[in-house]
Amino acid sequence: MQELRDYYRKRLKWMLAPIVSFAILYRQFAVPAIHNWYHSHGFTFGESWLEGAYSLMIGFFFLAGEWLIRTRLWKLEKPWLNFSGLWEGETKYQVMEKGSDKIDPQTFQPFSSKHEVKIEQDCFSISIKPTDKTFATWYSITMTVRNAEEVAYAYEVKYADETPRFPAKAIGYEQMSVTLRKKGWFGIRKDRPIRLSGTFAHCAEGQTPVYRGNVTFQFQKN
């Protein structure tokens, strides 16, 4: 995430320059002109209201610009770091690390399941939001963009499937790498990732069975 944080700080400085310049010019030229105009026309009210409106306008410009940089502009300028959106995930449970009293690792057969992945991201944070399709609930506890090619996160999942092959709840770790991107401009620049693949592993936490295996995400839409 450090690259996005550095980008945010740099763009915020660029945005502040014209705002500060406008504020100085307004105070130096516009305020005296308004003051003279009011007094030359005999007005004795409304001048302080205009001053307040000016302060609100400056504040609005700053907040709007900050929001635009943090949530939107970076996606246009650094699409190769954009993992946000709705993905279709497929989890392949390939190895049973620990069985339960209802299922024996010796008779285990690998299986897979598909699920929805909703990733929200800005310049300072990235997370998988809770989803209730396939699982009772599934979301990231902590998540980071390691670099343009890799994300990693710890997650908690509560399984909706009440068959013996799932514990009631599990905490796990997934590490995902970019395996496909959209084509960039003229095939030159890197564009946003549209396919991720990696591995996962469950932490037992006293609940069984415990699995590890592979995961793939396919991008669906923003």
- pLDDT of 218 reads 97
Residue 134, helix vs strand vs coil: coil
- pLDDT of 122 reads 96
Question: In whole angstroms, what separates CA 123 from the centre of its chain?
Answer: 8
* pLDDT tens, residue by residue, 93-106: 999 988 888 788 88
Greatest Cα pair distance in the chain: 95
Q: Which token pair is 183?
A: 């084509």
| N residues, the chain | 222
- pLDDT of 187 reads 57
DSSP label at residue 78? -
Task: Report how far residue 99's alpha carbon sits from residue 101's, in angstroms, rounded to the nearest whole number.
Answer: 7
Q: Are 177 and 74 in contact (CB under 8 A)?
A: no
- pLDDT of 94 reads 94
Task: Report how far residue 201's alpha carbon sits from residue 171's, in angstroms, rounded to the nearest whole number.
Answer: 9
Residues of the chain with pLDDT under 70: 27, 29-35, 37-39, 41-54, 132-133, 161-162, 184-189, 204, 206
Strand order in the sheet with 126-128: 126-128, 111-121, 85-98, 210-221, 190-203, 169-183, 150-159, 135-147
Q: 70: part of which helix (H) or strand (E)? A: none
* pLDDT tens, residue by residue, 182-203: 876 665 567 899 999 999 998 8
- pLDDT of 162 reads 67
- pLDDT of 42 reads 65
Q: Which token pair is 176?
A: 């995902």
